Structure 1
Amino acid sequence: MTSKIGKELIRLGGHDIEIREKLSAEGKLAGGYHPEMERIHKTNAKRLREIISDIGYPTISKVGVKASDAAWLIIQHSIGEPEFMKACYKMMVENSHDITKKNKAYLYDRIQVFQSRPQKYGTQLMTDGIPYPVEDKENLNSERKKANLPSLSEKEINQIPDPENIPEIDNRDEDYTVWRRKVGWI
């Protein structure tokens, strides 16, 4: 049975996905952070902070799997709030036994990429579908297995570029770098 808070989290996460799909279908998600998406992400993060203040991190035992996953989606999309994302990651680590493992892996990688650091699990992809650089290609599938993520083929792993070959990592993408600086990632 899902609690009132659980139902609210599911609704908030669903609204995020619904608007994202609508804007994507209209071709409005290319070219930066869309203001409507940013507004939804900030509103959802604000509400999630209130929920966390009331009940702590929304773990599976507190709100159910779907609602805990929806809370993670809200965190994952709160890209304009680096300190919130980092604080939530710490809470996920503290509650590792009571969350979906792959969610923690995705959030770790997302934070790393926004900070211009290689990721651990290879969950964050470039526009061509190839993962951003990783910390350790040789042990990538071992790390993915620990997080309940599917293995990548040797070919896929070999396609992963080194950090110096990614504009977002080494600051060659000026607009992205300006945005990350503005919101506090760098």
Structure 2
Amino acid sequence: MTLKDELLHLMREDEVVREALASTGELFHGYHPEMEKVHLRNAQRLKDLIEANKGFPTVSQVGEEACIAALRILLHAISWPEFMRAHEENLLVLAKNNQVPKSYVAFLVDRIRFYEGRKQVYGTNSDWDENGILRITDVEDPNHLNERRAEMGLQPVQSLVITPLDGEYHPPDPAKRYQEFLAWTKKTGWRTNT
């Protein structure tokens, strides 16, 4: 199997499990153990592939679709903080040189900061607030957010409110959900002093 084919296969496996869990509603009640298992297995395989490839698979090596699959696998490795952090700097360089899609690197930068409890750079992560409204979490220098987003190929942010109070995925107890999220970030090593 080629590197391109394997990356696409790994992403398809992720999507199949996600769709199955979403169809039963299980996906929306915390980080489901089966989803985490797939994410960690795929991340370990991606790590091995990156080592064998002597670098992150770029668009010129595997095509845009497979490069995005590799980036998505990395983005889904949320319970392996060291793996995500280890690729941030290199991917920023690759994005600057148009070797990987910039928008996915923006997602990575923000996801790392979100789980660490820091302000985002590009405003790509959302979370439920204390009132149960899904909002983009705090960003650095909000006055220049859309400029930074444009540099990474992202659309302007028109409103920080993403969903109304009601909806299919609304947490019944936002405060409890937030405490569970904080406990998870400590358990996985994203945060140590919050």
TM score, norm. by length of structure 1: 0.86
Q: Which residue of 2 aligns with 1:175?
A: 180
The structural deviation recorded for 1:179 is 1.2
Q: Does 1:33 align with 2:31?
A: yes
Is 1:151 paired with 2:156? Answer: yes
C-alpha separation between the residues in 2 aligned to 1:146 and 1:39? 34
Amino acid at match of 2:32: H
Secondary structure at the residue paired with 1:130? Answer: strand
- For 1:169, the equivalent position in structure 2 comes to none
**Post-superposition shift, 1:121?**
0.8
The one-letter amino acid paired with 2:148 is E
Structure 2 unaligned spans of 5+? 163-176
Aligned residues: 171
Consecutive unaligned residues of structure 1, counting only runs of 5 or more, are 161-171
Correspondence for 1:44: 42
1:3-152 to 2 correspondences below 5 Å: 4-55=2-53, 56-96=55-95, 97=97, 98-127=99-128, 128-152=133-157
One-letter amino acid of the structure 2 residue matched with residue 22 of structure 1:
A
Counterpart CA distance in 1 for 2:19 and 2:141 is 33
Deviation of 1:115 after TM superposition, in Å, equals: 0.3
1:108: how far off? Answer: 0.4
Percent same amino acid at aligned positions? 37
Aligned-pair distance for 1:46? 0.6
* AA at the equivalent of 1:184: G
Give the equivalent residue in structure 1 for 2:172.
none
Aligned equivalents of 1:9 and 1:143: distance in 2?
Answer: 29
- Distance in 2 (CA, whole Å) between partners of 1:49 and 1:143 is 29
Write the letter of the residue equivalent to 1:6.
K
* Other structure's SS at 2:57 match: coil
SS at match of 1:78: coil
Partners of 2:124 and 2:112 lie apart in 1 by: 11
Give the secondary structure class of the aligned counterpart of 1:29: helix
SS state at 2:118 partner: coil
